[in-house]
Amino acid sequence: MSRELRDARSLHSGREDRVDGAPSRAWWRDAVGYEVYIRSFADGNYDGVGDLVGLRDRLEHLAWLGVDLVWITPFYPSPMADHGYDVSDYCDVDPAFGTLDDFDSVVLEAHRLGLRVMVDIVPNHTSDQHPWFVDARRHRRSQHRDWYVWRDPGADGGPPNNWVSSFGGPAWTLDAGTGQYYMHLFLPEQPDLNWNERAVAEAFAQIIGFWLDRGVDGFRIDVAHSLVEDQAFPDNPTIGPVAPEMTPRQAFRCFEHLYDLDQPGVTDIYRRWRQLADQHGAVLLGEVYLHEAQRVSRYVEPDALHAAFYFKAMSMPWGAAGVRAMLAAGVESGSGRFAWVQASHDERRSVTRFGGGAEGRERALVLSTLYAGLPGMMFLYQGEELALADGVVPPDRLTDPVGTRNVNPAGSRDGARTPMPWADVDGFGFTAPGVEPWLPFGGRGAADTVSVQRRDPASWLYRYRSLIAARRSLPPTEGTVEWLVDDPDRLVAYRRGGLSVSANVSDEALDLPPLDGTWSVHFATDPACTLRRLPPRSALLALRSP
Ligand code: NOJ
């Protein structure tokens, strides 16, 4: 590691942030994070695919926006069957994304700008091209055989049980050479690791140490709830029949996942990682894709993960009751350790999910405003600050295996992954003019771009930036969250100490009940918001005068 990199890092690590000798809040607790989907963020070498140099050169945008933390999706060597979530070497950079030196330069520049860097770690599965799996399938007694999950065929010669892959079809593929099935919760090219094998745990401790030594400030842990399976491998109970025209998600929901997901013992894996991370002041943030808040809370017990994403908003229809219930459950079960999120590279963008158009955009900002006053980290997905809806990807340009390998392409995640529109020019400032991007831009216009929005103080970009600044300048957000229940069908509102947050989630203007004492507007999604009245689909943060 270069001296510059070490110096920059020492500014940012530190086991405990201390003020006057007393421990202060850990840096990540209320951090605003930003997800960079590396393929689609910025193309530094003009080959149509986003990369680390492109990211480095655009970090200034994130510093200007005011976020604290940048999560970068996998950039490791990969055959790209799942666009990088099929890793064939955990300690290097895929040539499509650059080099390890490029990665160091991202960390250096991020730290110079006061941004922390989080990398994605994929411990549930490797690529089938990873040398571990290549060796495992050579024969039944190979050194790495037990690093993966192998079972004999079922009585009928078919898969050993009825488990299905999240990406469609059975969760088992027969390895003809050795006569056994291997398990894969995702693609056949993504064999699941066997976390009962001690050597797997040793290997990942090394990998985590490798990236901590390179100066990263945290890890986003891919499918953090899936690493362990019931060792008796029983069938999952069936909820309904699977039909061929179903999307993989619909088919997955035809089973009660009693034995393949969220098993006892999975959090034990993280206790060791926690010690490593704590030595560097780094954060472990789990992708715990369980919608029930209470189940997620088990992953953030004191010596397990520091924090976990809370994804309930991804499956929530818009409406006051649903929004309030989602938030209240997250506050109660999360104890400040849930990371609030409404969009990612895996879901349709929230603007689209919440109805699209101006309405969808307003609703998405309202939800972020509700998040802003709550304890816990909060994340934006690239382009959320521009209020982007999903891009339009024609059927012949789909690349996501969830869409291309199934009868029904509706589950494709490509619409959420179209390249960032930076500027109103050919190539949208993502790549050079005339270069074909890996996914089409999807119908973006001038008004969607960073450069146009940055010239307009009334733009979405400025509103998100003001919201982040408002959150940052809140007085210490300790204190319990009290939900207000006036007008339950239209208003979602809470108090937290001297902070009042009110959101009109309805499509009509709403009069607010009077606040006791003297209050001032700290942030409003719409200039027409007042302490007494909210326009349709608007929200405000208000502070009580001391
Ligand atoms: C979750 C990731 O976010 C997603 O993109 C990926 O396909 C699966 N995990 C499998 O790694």
CATH code for the domain in which residue 534 is found: 2.60.40.1180
Q: Are 350 and 323 in contact (CB under 8 A)?
A: no
Q: Are 538 and 517 in contact (CB under 8 A)?
A: no
Which among 447, 471, 495 is the end of a domain?
471
* Domain range enclosing 497: 479-544
Reported confidence tier of residue 361, pLDDT bands at 50, 70, 90: very high
Atom of ligand 1 nearest to the CA of 413: 5
Annotation marks residue 109 as catalytic: no
pLDDT digits (tens, 9 = 90+) for 364-422: 999 999 999 999 999 999 999 999 999 999 999 999 999 999 999 999 999 999 999 99
- Active-site residue among 51, 287, 414, 448? 287
Atom of ligand 1 nearest to the CA of 86: 11
**Listed range (15-29, 168-182, 410-424, 454-468) with the worst mean pLDDT:** 15-29
- Active-site residue among 222, 260, 262, 400? 222
Q: How far apart are CA 82 and CA 73, in angstroms?
A: 12
372/270 same-domain check: yes
Helix (H) or strand (E) segment spanning residue 543: strand 538-544
Q: Are 86 and 80 in contact (CB under 8 A)?
A: yes
**Distance from chain centroid for Cα 206:** 24
pLDDT confidence of residue 222: 98
Which among 471, 503, 527 is the end of a domain?
471
pLDDT confidence of residue 17: 41
Let me know if residue 191 belongs to a domain. no
Structural domains in the chain (count): 3
pLDDT confidence of residue 8: 39
357/444 same-domain check: yes
Atom of ligand 1 nearest to the CA of 85: 11
pLDDT digits (tens, 9 = 90+) for 437-453: 999 999 999 999 999 99
Query: Any bridge partners for residue 409, and if so which?
Result: none
Neighbour-count burial for 478-504, b at 16+ CB within 10 Å, e otherwise: eeebeebeebeebbbbbbbbbbbbbbb
Let me know if residue 188 belongs to a domain. no
The encoded tokens of residue 482 equal 């009290």
Distance 14 CA to ligand 1 centre (A): 31
pLDDT at position 317 over 50: yes
119/136 same-domain check: no
Distance 35 CA to ligand 1 centre (A): 13
CATH of residue 301: 3.20.20.80
CATH of residue 162: 3.90.400.10
Given ligand 1 and candidates 40, 83, 186, which is best to mutate, with the most ligand atoms within 8 Å of its CB?
186
Q: How far apart are CA 373 and CA 469, in angstroms?
A: 12
Distance 504 CA to ligand 1 centre (A): 34
- Kindly state the average pLDDT of the residues 36-44: 98
Annotation marks residue 436 as catalytic: no
Distance 150 CA to ligand 1 centre (A): 22
